[in-house]
Chains A and B, each alone.
Chain A
Amino acid sequence: MPPAALPLRPAAQPAALLVPVVLFAAAALPPLAPLLQASLPLHVLVQFPLLVAAGFGAGRTAARRRGPCDVAEAIAALLLAIGCLAFWMLPRWLDAAVLDARVDALKAASLALLCGLPGGWCWGVLPAVARGVLWANGVSMAVVMGWLYLNAPERLCTTYLLDEQAVLGEGMLILGAGLALWGIVAALRGPQPGSS
């Protein structure tokens, strides 16, 4: 049986909805979106996380209001989120998002609604080991992706130059190291008061 909805302080309700909406608008609309998409590293390492974070925040709010999902739903939601993220990591679709506004809108909506939202809604329900597996996989895949971008024998995206590809590769390696460090520090600290 899914756990009951967590209470949300009335004063926190507007802010809880406002933050994801503002985040989404900032990441997906001008003037910031074209600036972010002008650079491959900013596109992948800044716009993507902002869109996912917007959806994640909305998902957390939904979990508080409607109650979190159960474990089976959480696994399905996380698979959906991973699939969505993997799809938009393909260079072909990064190009398409830059060149076609409709694809870009689809990207923004899907990263927020199919990746971030289910992730935020169900994250707290996932067993701790499953969360650990996702973290570990995130670290190792960031390293692998970083290597792929650094060592690709040719340009992967037609809309971005080779040197940006290399910067993205380095950024991915730094992301992997940062994720690893964050996980280790969190495990050392243990549960903090008020954390779910």
Chain B
Amino acid sequence: MPADAPGREGPTPFARRILAAYIAVTALVLVLMMVLGVLMRLAQSEWLALDPALFYQSMTIHGVGMVGIAAVGGAAVMWYFLSHHVRLDARILLANLVLFLAGTVAILAAAFLGGFAGAWTFLFPLPASSGGAWESGAAATFLLGLLGIGVGFLLLFLDVARALIRDRGGLARALGWPQLFAGSIEPAPPPTVVASAMVTIVNIPALVAGAAIIVISLVNLIVPEFGVDALFAKNMTYFFGHTFVNATMYMTVIAVYEILPRHTGRPWKVNRVFLAAWTASTAMVLLVYPHHLMMDFVMPAWALAIGQVVSYLNGFPVLLVTGLGTLAIVHRSGIRWSATTTLMFIGMFGWMAGVIPAILDATIVVNRVMHNTMWVPGHFHFYMLLGLVPMLVAFMYHFTGLERGAPEGGAAPDRWAIGVFLFAGLGFVVTFLQSGRDGVPRRWAQHLPEWLLQDRIAAALSLLVLAAGAVMLLRVLRGALRGGAAWSAEA
């Protein structure tokens, strides 16, 4: 057993300090990435003169930074709650954070010193074909940074797999398959174990595929004679990218399963429907990525059909059992509303509503018109900004004990910040969607005069979102940096 093995009673003091570092890093990076997002919207609205090269570098960092930090925050949620059920290795938790920070330095250097601006998806052949915007060394630095971060997460999920296999008898048992398929009358695994098993099953193959395509891209950068089939590269990239991003939500939703019951006094019940939903989503998350390739007419029709059909079904099983489960345990529970529980509910709303634009975009005939418009950023900002981020912040409040002694509904700064965040955030994502509906292209540094009104509304709203987000996240950052004294005794 590792020297600092936490046992099954939750994280040790050593692990708690690492988790506090995860939370501090997540809060800080979220604010910084929001600043970059605001700068881009200000530039598009012509309220800020931003060199287009810097715009695309910022877009690259905003994308990769948000994906990475959603994964770091989600991993903190999963690790913290899972450590109450299985024995995890805190040294690997630390190694992941160190690799993440080292990779982040490389990625920042690649973009802001080397000029790399090939978007976080690093799609072949863009890294190697910059048209003089950056050298191949910058692209290689970006890819190596990404590889380092991927290796860190691979270690983390391998350790989770090890712990689930050793302490729960395998990933099938952790998913509750004996109860689901074999009529076992043993108690079903807790929801945290089920969700962690699902995330582990989907993320390890995704990370391995990501590592392979990054190494292939690196070889191509160094020896361009080794060509890459662009369609093969895109399939590998999106199998990795989509799965990894999707899994951030499935890690973060563990906070709902663990924290809401503590506020309602009712346990989260795991039944066969719950288990079936998570098993279905395990398969579908691995199959859904072709919806990113619907504009690639050379993709086999059957693959695109899978992408469309599975996109319709993918989110619903877990979404429904979690949404209905949330309503069931809250209804007439006498819950005392707080910033944490309010944020959880906003997160559930953002998750549920945020998938609707994605489902529309996953329809082949719609996708061919809408995919390169602002509609798609509208979807993922809805899903991430109003879905994942509120759940993460709720977990952070819980972990750092920020709500201790707060009145019903939360402390005044939180109430204001949450209200502004919700309404400005809603306006912000709706503006994105409206721009998409009007055919405004995405990933353009400069916009036509006809698009400026929407851009300016979005820019103003993004400033409000940033202000509200900063109030909450900087409070979390202070709480995390204060360390153990501020942590809730229960947490």
Q: Give residues in A with beta carbon < 8 Å to B.
A: 128-129, 132-133, 136, 139-141, 143-144, 147-148, 151-153, 176, 180, 183-184, 187-191
Report the bound CA distance from A184 to B203 in whole Å. Answer: 11
Whether A187 contacts B165 by the Cβ 8 Å rule is: yes
B471 within 8 A of A: no
Residue in A closest to B91 when the chains form the complex, CB atoms: A129
Chain B residues contacting A183 (CB-CB under 8 Å) are: 204
Residue among B159, B166, B170, B225 having the largest count of chain A Cβ atoms under 10 Å: B170
Interface of B is mostly: helix
Residue in A closest to B170 when the chains form the complex, CB atoms: A190
Contacts A129-B162, A191-B165 known; 6 new A-B pairs at CB < 8 A: A129-B159, A141-B212, A180-B205, A183-B204, A184-B201, A184-B204
Chain A residues contacting B209 (CB-CB under 8 Å) are: 140, 143
How many A-B pairs with Cβ below 8 Å?
A: 81
Chain A residues contacting B211 (CB-CB under 8 Å) are: 136, 140
B25 within 8 A of A: no
Whether A189 contacts B89 by the Cβ 8 Å rule is: no
Interface positions of B from 147 to 163, Cβ below 8 Å from A: 154-155, 158-159, 161-162
Interface positions of B from 111 to 164, Cβ below 8 Å from A: 154-155, 158-159, 161-162
B467 within 8 A of A: no
Chain A residues contacting B207 (CB-CB under 8 Å) are: 136
Q: What are 21 inter-chain pairs, A to B, with CB distance below 8 A? A: A128-B165, A128-B166, A129-B89, A132-B158, A132-B162, A133-B154, A133-B158, A136-B207, A136-B208, A139-B208, A139-B212, A140-B208, A140-B212, A144-B216, A144-B219, A152-B226, A183-B204, A189-B172, A190-B169, A190-B172, A191-B165
Chain A residues contacting B169 (CB-CB under 8 Å) are: 190-191
B228 within 8 A of A: yes
Chain B residues contacting A152 (CB-CB under 8 Å) are: 226
A-contact bits for B207-250, CB 8 A (1 contact / 0 none): 11101100110010000011111001000000000000000000
Whether A190 contacts B171 by the Cβ 8 Å rule is: yes
Chain B residues contacting A129 (CB-CB under 8 Å) are: 89, 92, 155, 158-159, 162
B415 within 8 A of A: no
B84 within 8 A of A: no
Report the bound CA distance from A140 to B207 in whole Å. Answer: 9
Report the bound CA distance from A176 to B171 in whole Å. Answer: 21
B173 within 8 A of A: yes
Q: Give residues in B with beta carbon < 8 Å to A.
A: 89, 92, 154-155, 158-159, 161-162, 165-166, 168-173, 200-201, 204-205, 207-209, 211-212, 215-216, 219, 225-229, 232
Report the bound CA distance from A133 to B155 in whole Å. Answer: 7
Given A129-B155, A129-B162, A151-B228, CB of A144 within 8 Å of CB of B212 = yes
Residue in A closest to B229 when the chains form the complex, CB atoms: A151
Residue among A144, A147, A151 having the largest count of chain B Cβ atoms under 10 Å: A147
Whether B170 contacts A191 by the Cβ 8 Å rule is: yes
Whether B171 contacts A148 by the Cβ 8 Å rule is: no
Residue among A136, A148, A176, A180 having the largest count of chain B Cβ atoms under 10 Å: A136
Residue in B closest to A188 when the chains form the complex, CB atoms: B172
Chain B residues contacting A153 (CB-CB under 8 Å) are: 225-227
Our pick among A132, A139, A140, A148 for the contact of B226 (Cβ within 8 Å) is A148
Report the bound CA distance from A180 to B154 in whole Å. Answer: 14
Chain A residues contacting B158 (CB-CB under 8 Å) are: 128-129, 132-133, 136
Our pick among A136, A140, A143, A189 for the contact of B170 (Cβ within 8 Å) is A189
Whether B205 contacts A190 by the Cβ 8 Å rule is: no
B106 smallest CB distance to A (angstroms): 19
Our pick among A136, A190, A191 for the contact of B154 (Cβ within 8 Å) is A136
Given A133-B154, A136-B204, A143-B212, CB of A187 within 8 Å of CB of B226 = no
B3 smallest CB distance to A (angstroms): 13
Report the bound CA distance from A147 to B227 in whole Å. Answer: 9
Chain A residues contacting B215 (CB-CB under 8 Å) are: 140, 144
Chain A residues contacting B205 (CB-CB under 8 Å) are: 180, 184
Residue in A closest to B200 when the chains form the complex, CB atoms: A187
Residue in A closest to B201 when the chains form the complex, CB atoms: A184
Given A129-B162, A132-B158, CB of A148 within 8 Å of CB of B219 = yes
Report the bound CA distance from A183 to B161 in whole Å. Answer: 11
A43 smallest CB distance to B (angstroms): 22
Chain B residues contacting A190 (CB-CB under 8 Å) are: 165, 168-173
Chain B residues contacting A141 (CB-CB under 8 Å) are: 212
Residue in A closest to B169 when the chains form the complex, CB atoms: A190
Report the bound CA distance from A143 to B217 in whole Å. Answer: 13
Chain B residues contacting A140 (CB-CB under 8 Å) are: 208-209, 211-212, 215
Chain B residues contacting A136 (CB-CB under 8 Å) are: 154, 158, 204, 207-208, 211
Report the bound CA distance from A153 to B223 in whole Å. Answer: 10
Residue in A closest to B214 when the chains form the complex, CB atoms: A140
Given A129-B89, A184-B205, CB of A151 within 8 Å of CB of B226 = yes
A145 smallest CB distance to B (angstroms): 10
Chain A residues contacting B154 (CB-CB under 8 Å) are: 133, 136
Report the bound CA distance from A49 to B201 in whole Å. Answer: 27
What are the nearest 10 A-B pairs in CB distance?
Answer: A190-B170, A132-B158, A128-B162, A140-B212, A143-B212, A188-B172, A153-B225, A140-B211, A190-B169, A188-B171
